[in-house]
Amino acid sequence: MRIRVFKMILILCCICSMVACGQRSAKTPEQWFEFTWSGLAGRDALTFQGDAALLRGDKSFLEDSMTYYGELKNHRELNMVTVLPHGNKIGTWQMAGTGKGNQFAANLLWEGGSWTPTTNQGDALSLGMTRLNPLDQLENIRRMNKKKITAESGAARGTEVLRIELDPSEAKDMIGGKLIDEMQEVRVGLQNKLAEIEPGRRSTIEKEVMDLWSSGNGQLVQMLEQAEARVIYHLTIDRRSGLPQRLTSESELNYRSHAGLQQRELLLTDNRFVKYQ
């Protein structure tokens, strides 16, 4: 009798395990992404913190790194603050679009389908901060038509981990578009600075400055034409709430420099969602 009971328990355990596995695979990876996107879209406020590192060359030489924080309010207003690795801790998040020591903050507004800086017009750094913004990254993923989404094995209990790889051509267009936008923002910034110079000196200086910008912009366009891109995300989802817990990204760009040398840049970001409201 005891043997039969023991066997019955084993059978029940197997059935429960099969049911659990069936429940875990109830959604496809694509459905999990849509599920978490819908859950995120319904939140009016949240906070996140992240780290970014820029690597260059085949040996992945670390060129720059930073820590950053973000706070979303009223569904459309995002305040981001970056801190350089040797800097002091954040004292306040109320520095709208201003630099303070080795901290930099910018206000971003969701309008027209993108995150746009609301302060410091002509500041490429403010615009560049959107590339670190996990909300912007998730929006980019949603827009891509040829992305490949797969479920990662070994996810922690209560979570689902998705691996999302963008199509190389779409990845190149995404990275290139953002770099070109930042370059145009540099142009606006230069024009704003030139407007502060007295008219008598402005014309001479303006020609020199804008010639330099045109040269740099031309090199960027040429570089992008020959570049190859690779972008991969890993999204960790809370299975119960459907909300994202963590989003990491690897954005690799291979191109030839103006001197004809092969170059490689790798931008890594790691974002953790701290609190939802």
Q: Where residue 4 falls among pLDDT bands split at 50, 70, 90?
A: low
- AA letter at 77: E
pLDDT number for residue 6: 47
pLDDT number for residue 244: 96
Q: Where residue 142 falls among pLDDT bands split at 50, 70, 90?
A: very high
pLDDT, average across residues 127-140: 88
Both tokens of 79, joined, read 């305040």
pLDDT, average across residues 221-231: 93
| DSSP-based three-state secondary structure for 148 | strand
pLDDT, average across residues 108-120: 82
Higher pLDDT, 95 or 30: 30
pLDDT number for residue 10: 46
Both tokens of 117, joined, read 């800086």
Mean of per-residue pLDDT scores for the chain: 82
| DSSP-based three-state secondary structure for 272 | strand
Q: Give yes or no for a contact between 80 and 125, defined as CB atoms under 8 angstroms apart.
A: no
Closest CA to 111 of 76, 139, 63, 71: 76
pLDDT above 70: residue 264: yes
pLDDT above 90: residue 41: no
Cα distances (angstroms) measured from residue 193 to each of 113, 210, 267: 29, 12, 30
Higher pLDDT, 70 or 128: 70
pLDDT in tens, 194-220: 888 888 788 888 888 888 999 999 999
Per DSSP, what are the bridge partners of residue 104? Answer: 82, 99
pLDDT, average across residues 116-131: 71
Closest CA to 137 of 74, 238, 50, 53: 50
pLDDT number for residue 22: 43
For the chain, how many residues are written? 277
Q: Where residue 138 falls among pLDDT bands split at 50, 70, 90?
A: very high
pLDDT number for residue 2: 45
pLDDT in tens, 149-170: 999 988 889 999 999 999 999 9
pLDDT number for residue 167: 97
Question: Which residue blocks in 25-119 are alpha helix, DSSP H?
Answer: 29-41
pLDDT, average across residues 265-276: 94
What is the reported pTM?
Answer: 0.81
pLDDT, average across residues 216-233: 93
CA atoms within 13 A on the CB side of 233: 27
Give the H or E element holding residue 6: helix 2-24
Q: How many angstroms separate the CA atoms of 129 and 115, rounded? A: 10
pLDDT in tens, 182-193: 888 888 888 888
pLDDT number for residue 20: 45
Q: How many angstroms separate the CA atoms of 196 and 89, rounded? A: 34
pLDDT, average across residues 243-267: 92
Q: How many angstroms separate the CA atoms of 161 and 223, rounded? A: 34
